[in-house]
Amino acid sequence: MLNLELFLPFLAAVLLVELTPGPNMGFLAIVSAQWGRASGLATVAGITLGLLVYMLGTVAGLSALILKVPGLYQVLRWAGIAYLLWLAWDTWKGGPGKDAETAASERPGRRDLFLRGLVANLLNPKVAVFYITLLPGFTDTRLGHLVVQSLILGSIHVTVSVAVHLAIVFMAARAGPLLEAQLAKGRGSLIDTTFALGLVAIAVWMVWETRL
Counted domains in the chain? 1
Query: Which structural domain, as residue segments, surrounds residue 186?
Result: 4-14+24-209
156 Cβ partners below 8 Å, 6+ apart? 10, 11, 14
Each residue of 67-93: pLDDT tens digit? Answer: 788 788 888 889 988 988 988 887 777
State the pTM of this model: 0.80
Percent of the chain with pLDDT over 70: 85
Q: Does residue 83 lie within any of the structural domains?
A: yes
DSSP state of 112: H
Each residue of 27-54: pLDDT tens digit? Answer: 898 899 888 899 999 999 999 999 999 9
Q: Does residue 127 lie within any of the structural domains?
A: yes
Q: Does residue 19 lie within any of the structural domains?
A: no
Q: Does residue 118 lie within any of the structural domains?
A: yes
SS3 (DSSP) at 38: helix
Least confident of 7-11, 91-95, 182-186, 193-197: 182-186
With beta carbons less than 8 A apart as the criterion, state whether 161 and 18 touch: yes
Each residue of 152-178: pLDDT tens digit? Answer: 999 999 999 999 999 999 998 887 666
Quote the pLDDT of residue 1. Answer: 66
